[in-house]
Amino acid sequence: MALSLLLVSITVLYFSPTACIPIDNGLVLKQRLVSAGPPTKVCNSVADVMFIVDGSTSIGEDNFEIVRIFLRGAVETLTAQAASTWYSTVQFSGIARTEFSFKTFGDDSEKVKDYFSKMPYLRGTTTIGKAIDYAIAKEMTAASGNREGIEDIVIVITDGRSSDDPKPPADRLRALGAQTFAIGITNAVDKDQLVAIAGSNDSVIFVTDFTKLDNTAKETLLSKRKCVTVTRKHLKRDFTALCIQAIFSQFRV
């Protein structure tokens, strides 16, 4: 009876950038809705996150170490927000290679961070489109541990302009249901390419140099989650809620 009254009285869950009720299995909305107190939103507590990391020669060994630090900080932040997060990483230059697949470490974030500490630096040119196509073919698969029915988040990190067109591969990636984000470092990046990779300007992060990327990971990296409006119609549908997880706060430098 109490639940029936609750469903009658609540038609919308209000959103807040700081509060989130996780969904334990990634799909089923918990039956603990908030009608008073701080605004609340509902988000998935699981995700498959892939990093596609630029390893071109222009980055340099010192800056690539900053990228390693950034990746470790990103994993720490993401895992704190969603404990059942699996990770995969592809590094690219003129070629692309898998650093580790989703199934390699599962949700063992400590092993992921340990790998990033020693991840080798590839070197070469910059072909983002080829890297995204490689990621689709090799990593966005059940064989690599990509979990069916779990939100896919793909984060592309680059310091330059791609010599191929990244838009068609990025469009194909989003057509599979992935949320795509682009992090551009230095003024050498092509901002139009970043938007093409991310799908919208809202999903682009730009920093002017690598030291600001480090600060982002250590000090100002936030989890930004955009959730659907949950009405009685959603609740009647087996309490199912779809929640899009973004990852990073935007930076306008």
In order along the chain (253 residues), what is the average pLDDT of each group of 10 residues? 37 34 39 40 72 96 94 85 86 97 95 97 96 97 95 92 96 94 92 94 87 61 42 33 36 40
What gap in Å lies between CA 151 and CA 59, rounded to an integer? 30
CATH fold of the domain at 46-220? Rossmann fold (3.40.50)
pLDDT at 214: 67
pLDDT for the residue 175:
95
Q: What are the extents of the domains in the chain?
A: 2-43+224-243, 46-220
- Taking the CA atoms of residue 21, residue 27, residue 31 and residue 37 in that order, the dihedral angle to the nearest 10 degrees is 20
Q: What pLDDT, on a 0 to 100 scale, did the predictor assign at position 224?
A: 43
Partnered with residue 144 across adjacent β-strands are none
Spatial neighbors of 8 by CB under 8 A, at least 6 apart, are none
Q: What is the pLDDT of residue 156?
A: 95
